[in-house]
């Protein structure tokens, strides 16, 4: 037990900075949680040298960060030689103050971004520094290309890792998270109903679809890789589903924009719409300048209470009523004109037609037929002679003959339906020597004495 404690004490004395870092990190966690039990903390502590490099570069204000990156990028961009003497550095970075340059070189050398060879008295850019600069340059170049979807860097990392066979689940999850964020952003834009936000999101959606198309081949390579583990396959499949959801939003954008187009308000016959006015207003940086010389200064506010509003409204209402009143009062009364309610011409024609059919229905009007054959006559003999209009009207009334539902009613049409006559039309035509009607469908009227519609009506 004493040996174990002694060894622990020696280890603590050997690494005092590690122990202090461990204690400082533990201070951020709950007392019952051990730092080493968290997986992400383990990965971060394992990458501590690399993270310290980023800390050395980006610690402090923007001015100091810019100078450090400037010096490191200037030295790394020189491929003519792998070593730099202090004289070479002073010549190459002569635009910097010697004190500032010395401070930056000391900081880069202390954090393993520059290696100092004491025997040859030269500096070298370390491989870690080149990796860091490569990642930073990739991110800066993609931002300069106006990658509004912000997927280019993530996809380039996945593509590069896949090319060397080292793609990780974390890289795929970063890409998946960005796809989910874009989908939610586009859905919010569609739900907002704002035309300008919809069009901006649609342009961003088109750019995202370009990256999706480029990333589909990478995902197919990952899913078809037999050496990839199950977690990598699941992450790639989740990215595929997220890409499908993103691509299916084209119909949602189209429907939302069509709905806005149908509801667009146009200003009279000018051809301008509210969208044109809003776009014109957005083109002005200072909208307050549009009001110059447009309104008087100072503006005098006019206050009015509900009581005064009621008085004014009542006065306006009474004055309008008084103006509409005739100056001479009510007009004098007049007798209504006397009119004679003559029987309509159509009603007279129906009565004449009914009387004619009643005479026509007499048994004497029909010739004697053969044994058992009904007595019938051509229909044009009952319709003519008459004008074309009268003959057409009479022909339109023929289907009422023998109609039981019509025979149960009162009036002229009911009397017509109760006549003992059957109407039998055909599809053929017959030429007639009549000045008004040239041809007529072949039809016949037959006398049916067994038809007793009058008795049925009386029984009802």
Please write the tens of the pLDDT for every residue from 9-59.
333 333 446 667 777 888 888 888 888 788 888 888 888 888 888 888 888
Query: Mean pLDDT, to the nearest integer, of 122-134?
Result: 87
Residue 455 lies in a domain: yes
Last residue of a domain, one of 145, 175, 206: 145
Query: Mean pLDDT, to the nearest integer, of 410-426?
Result: 82
Residue 306 lies in a domain: no
Position 452 scores a pLDDT of: 54
Do residues 372 and 384 share a domain? yes
Q: H/E/C letters for each residue in the chain?
A: CHHHHHHHHHHHHHCHHHHHHHHHHHCCCCCCCCHHHCHHHHHHHHCHHHHHHHHHHHCCCHHHHHHHHHHHHHHHCCCCCCCECHHHHHHHCCCCCHHHHHHHHHHHHHCCCEEEECCCCEEEECHHHHHHHHHHHHHHHHHHCCCCCCCHHHHHHHHHHHHCCCCCHHHHHHHHHHHHHHHHHHHHHHHHCCHHHHHHHHHHHHHHHHHHHHHHHHHHHHHCCCCCCHHHHHHHHHHHHHHHHHHCCHHHHHHHHHHHHHCCCECCCCCCEHHHHHHHHHCCCCHHHHHCCCCCCCCCCCCCCHHHHHHHHHHHHHHHHHHHCCCCCCCCCCCCCCCCCCCCHHHHHHHHHHHHHHHHCCHHHCCCCCCCCCCEEECHHHHCCCCHHHHHHHHHHHHHCCCHHHHCCCCHHHHHHCCCEEEEEEEEEEECCCCCCCEEEEEEEEECCCCCHHHHHHHC
CA angle 368, 371, 374 (to 5 degrees): 60
Output the pTM of the full model: 0.46
Residue 265 lies in a domain: no
Neighbours of 154 (CB within 10 A): 21
Checking if the pLDDT of 302 tops 60, the result is yes
Residue 315 lies in a domain: no
Domain that holds residue 447: 348-459
CA end-to-end span of the chain: 123
Q: What would the two tokens of residue 232 be?
A: 């990598």
Residue 208 lies in a domain: yes
Whether residue 402 contacts residue 417, with contact meaning beta carbons closer than 8 Å, is answered with yes
Checking if the pLDDT of 455 tops 70, the result is no
Do residues 164 and 251 share a domain? yes
* Spatial separation of the C-alpha atoms in residues 178 and 191, rounded to whole Å: 20
Do residues 188 and 109 share a domain? no
What is the domain count for the chain?
Answer: 3
Do residues 130 and 160 share a domain? no
Residue 154 lies in a domain: yes
How far, in Å, are 191, 254, 268, 272, 419 from residue 261 at the CA level? Answer: 16, 10, 16, 13, 66
Residue 325 lies in a domain: no
Do residues 101 and 139 share a domain? yes
Do residues 120 and 198 share a domain? no
Last residue of a domain, one of 88, 114, 145: 145
Collect all residues with Cβ–Cβ distance below 8 Å to 220 and sequence separation of at least 6.
Answer: none
Indicate the pLDDT class of residue 367, thresholds 50, 70 and 90: low
* Spatial separation of the C-alpha atoms in residues 449 and 361, rounded to whole Å: 9
Position 142 scores a pLDDT of: 65
Indicate the pLDDT class of residue 341, thresholds 50, 70 and 90: low
Last residue of a domain, one of 100, 116, 145: 145
| CATH number of the domain that residue 136 is part of | 1.10.10.10
Do residues 118 and 183 share a domain? no
Do residues 176 and 218 share a domain? yes
Do residues 360 and 401 share a domain? yes
What percent of the chain clears pLDDT 70, i.e. is strictly above it? 80
Do residues 174 and 105 share a domain? no
Residue 419, exposed/middle/buried by CB under 10 A (0-12, 13-18, 19+)?
Answer: buried
Position 150 scores a pLDDT of: 74
Do residues 99 and 182 share a domain? no
Neighbours of 409 (CB within 10 A): 13
Checking if the pLDDT of 458 tops 50, the result is no
Residue 284 lies in a domain: no
Do residues 134 and 153 share a domain? no
Indicate the pLDDT class of residue 398, thresholds 50, 70 and 90: confident
Average pLDDT, the chain: 77
How far, in Å, are 303, 309, 312, 313, 350 from residue 306 at the CA level? Answer: 10, 5, 10, 10, 69
């Amino acid at each position: 037990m004493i040996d174990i404690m002694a060894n622990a004490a020696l280890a603590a004395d050997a690494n005092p900075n590690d122990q202090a870092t461990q204690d400082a990190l533990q201070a951020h966690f709950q007392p019952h949680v051990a730092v080493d039990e968290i997986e992400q903390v383990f990965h971060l502590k394992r990458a501590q040298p690399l993270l310290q490099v980023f800390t050395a570069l980006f610690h402090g204000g923007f001015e100091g960060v810019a100078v450090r990156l400037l010096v490191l990028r200037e030295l790394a961009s020189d491929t003519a030689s792998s070593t730099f003497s202090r004289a070479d550095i002073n010549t190459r970075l002569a635009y910097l103050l010697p004190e500032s340059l010395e401070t930056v070189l000391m900081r880069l050398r202390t954090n393993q971004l520059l290696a100092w060879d004491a025997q040859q008295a030269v500096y070298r850019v370390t491989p870690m520094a080149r990796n860091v600069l490569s990642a930073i340059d990739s991110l800066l170049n993609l931002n300069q290309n106006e990658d509004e979807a912000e997927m280019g860097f993530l996809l380039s990392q996945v593509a590069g890792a896949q090319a060397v066979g080292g793609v990780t689940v974390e890289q795929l999850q970063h890409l998946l998270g960005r796809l989910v964020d874009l989908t939610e952003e586009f859905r919010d834009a569609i739900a907002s109903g704002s035309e300008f936000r919809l069009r901006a999101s649609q342009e961003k959606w088109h750019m995202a679809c370009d990256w999706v198309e480029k990333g589909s081949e990478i995902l197919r390579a990952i899913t078809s890789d037999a050496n990839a583990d199950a977690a990598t396959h699941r992450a790639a499949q989740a990215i595929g589903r997220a890409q499908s959801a993103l691509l299916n939003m084209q119909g949602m954008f189209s429907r939302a924009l069509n709905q806005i187009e149908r509801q667009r308000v146009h200003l009279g016959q000018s051809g301008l719409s509210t969208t044109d006015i809003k776009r014109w207003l957005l083109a002005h940086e200072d909208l307050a300048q549009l009001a110059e010389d447009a309104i008087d200064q100072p503006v005098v506010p006019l206050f009015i209470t509900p009581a005064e509003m009621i008085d004014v409204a009542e006065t306006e209402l009474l004055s309008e009523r008084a103006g509409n009143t005739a100056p001479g009062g009510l007009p004098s009364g007049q007798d209504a004109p006397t009119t004679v309610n003559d029987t309509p011409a159509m009603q007279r024609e129906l009565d004449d037609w009914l009387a004619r059919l009643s005479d026509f229905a007499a048994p004497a009007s029909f010739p004697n037929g053969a044994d058992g054959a009904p007595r019938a006559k051509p229909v044009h003999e009952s319709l003519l002679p008459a004008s074309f209009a009268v003959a057409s009207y009479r022909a339109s009334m023929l289907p009422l003959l023998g109609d039981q539902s019509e025979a149960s009613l009162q009036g002229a049409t009911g009397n017509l339906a109760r006549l003992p006559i059957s109407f039998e039309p055909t599809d053929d035509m017959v030429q007639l020597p009549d000045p008004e009607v040239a041809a007529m469908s072949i039809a016949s009227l037959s006398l049916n004495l067994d038809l007793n519609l009058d008795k049925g009506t009386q029984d009802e």
